[in-house]
């Protein structure tokens, strides 16, 4: 089992964040523009864990070199069954530098967009607080 999968399934947000590269780019299934940066990506992933119910990975696919992984998941969002895939690319240090999510069906993607939209103020506040803490610690 991949360490990212293990961390998500354990709902260990610190372990998830530790696997993200500083320059990670998160591509959402419901937003046009990708989101750059570790702090924002970590905050988005915490938001996702808050809105997904009964989340579980059902399949893991990896390239032979270990740099690309696809983790297929199932969950429920606002009563809608959702199936999706986390596409992960790992940099030379073994950190996730590209994270793209795709989901289906459209009705569940719409429910996810609404649920995450309701989380976005909190997500932005968490990311900003993490950036401030990071700059004060530097």
Range of 59's domain? 3-125
- Confirm whether 89 is domain-assigned: yes
Structural domain count, the chain: 1
- Confirm whether 134 is domain-assigned: no
Give the E-state strand segments of 1-138 in sequence order: 20-27, 35-36, 53-62, 68-77, 80-90, 96-104
Question: In the prediction, which pLDDT does 61 show?
Answer: 95
Q: 110: domain CATH number?
A: 3.10.450.50
* C-beta of residue 96 within 8 angstroms of C-beta of residue 89: yes
Structure tokens at 18: 């530790």
CA distances (Å), 90 to each of 51, 94, 123, in order? 26, 5, 24
- Confirm whether 36 is domain-assigned: yes
- List the pLDDT tens digit at each of the 138 positions of the chain: 789 999 999 999 999 999 999 999 999 998 889 999 999 999 999 999 999 999 999 999 999 888 999 999 999 999 999 999 999 999 999 999 999 999 999 999 999 999 988 988 888 888 888 888 878 876
Nearest Cα residue to 88 out of 45, 40, 32: 45
Handedness of CA 16, 29, 38, 130 (dihedral sign): negative
Threshold 0.85, pTM exceeds: yes
Nearest Cα residue to 98 out of 36, 48, 49: 36
Structure tokens at 31: 């937003």
- Confirm whether 101 is domain-assigned: yes
């Amino acid at each position: 089992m991949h360490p990212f999968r293990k961390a998500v399934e354990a709902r260990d947000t610190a372990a998830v964040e530790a696997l993200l590269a500083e320059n990670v780019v998160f591509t959402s299934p419901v937003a046009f523009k990708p989101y750059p940066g570790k702090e924002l990506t970590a905050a988005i992933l915490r938001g996702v864990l808050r809105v997904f119910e009964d989340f579980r990975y059902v399949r893991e696919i990896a390239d032979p070199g270990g740099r690309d992984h696809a983790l297929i998941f199932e969950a429920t969002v606002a009563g809608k069954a959702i199936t999706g895939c986390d596409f992960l690319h790992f940099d030379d240090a073994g950190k996730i530098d590209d994270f793209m999510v795709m989901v289906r069906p459209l009705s569940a993607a719409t429910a996810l967009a609404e649920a995450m939209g309701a989380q976005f103020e909190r997500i932005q506040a968490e990311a900003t607080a993490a950036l401030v803490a990071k700059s004060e610690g530097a």
